Amino acid sequence: MDCNRNYNNFQHTSLLLLSFLEQKGCQNSDLDEQLKLPTKHNYIESDEELQTDGHSSSVTYRDILYDLQNQVQPQLPVDDEEARAAREMAAELIRIADLLEQRVLFQAAETLTKKLDTCPKQFWARHLSDGVQGLLRQVAEAKEFKKELVEMAFTFVLMKTVCERVPHFLFSLYGSVVQYFGSR
């Protein structure tokens, strides 16, 4: 997939972010389990029924994330072609994100976590953007890709790393990221 060419045609930041988080995997197993990409097959809104994956349909972070996704970007594509396109683009973003040295990423995540922990949520997007800009300056190899793709990849991986450290930041950061890229 030519990610540089297809980026402008992809309108579903929320689906792309969810696919990125699911494919990248998490070191925090609780967070990883909750970030399964919701589909019409594993999300059931009913009391005490079993989902097709065998779990109780009691509210989980995945359910809440699905609801949040619908609040932030209501048109979650459900067809297989759009889901496949999101997975392909997410795989390319992961390849870009992997250009970051772990030491640099962890340092940026630690700095961002401290800032988010001490400031109101309305400033989170700005702090996240500052962190990503710092990462962009440190990775010369990223210049071969379209700047918007590198920025998206670094934003997604920085958000994921912060949320692995502090899982309760997930929903606020998720909303900030989707709104930021959706308003461009």
| pLDDT surpasses 80 at 4 | no
pLDDT tens digits, residue range 114-172? 999 999 999 999 999 999 999 999 888 888 888 889 999 999 999 999 999 998 898 88
- Going by C-alpha positions, the residue among 149, 147, 162 that lies closest to residue 107 is 162
Q: Is residue 84 part of a domain?
A: yes
Q: Is residue 3 part of a domain?
A: no
Mean pLDDT of 88-104: 91
Q: How confident is the model at residue 34, as a pLDDT? A: 58
Bridge partners of residue 56, in order along the sequence: 50
State the residue range of the domain holding 103. Answer: 12-36+60-183
Q: Is residue 111 part of a domain?
A: yes
Q: How confident is the model at residue 65, as a pLDDT? A: 55
Q: How confident is the model at residue 168, as a pLDDT? A: 87
Q: How confident is the model at residue 10 (pLDDT cuts 50, 70, 90)?
A: low
Across the chain, mean pLDDT equals 76
Q: Is residue 81 part of a domain?
A: yes
SS3 at position 110: helix
| pLDDT surpasses 50 at 74 | no
Q: Is residue 170 part of a domain?
A: yes
**Of 13 and 130, the one with more pLDDT:** 130
| pLDDT surpasses 90 at 2 | no
| pLDDT surpasses 50 at 46 | no
Q: Is residue 45 part of a domain?
A: no
Angle between helices 13-24 and 170-182 (to 10 degrees): 130
| pLDDT surpasses 60 at 101 | yes
Helix (H) or strand (E) holding 178: helix 170-182
Number of domains in the chain: 1
Residue 76 · residue 15 · CB < 8 Å: yes
Q: Is residue 7 part of a domain?
A: no
Q: Is residue 71 part of a domain?
A: yes
The contacts of residue 154 (CB under 8 Å, 6+ apart) are 96, 97, 100, 132, 135, 136, 139, 142
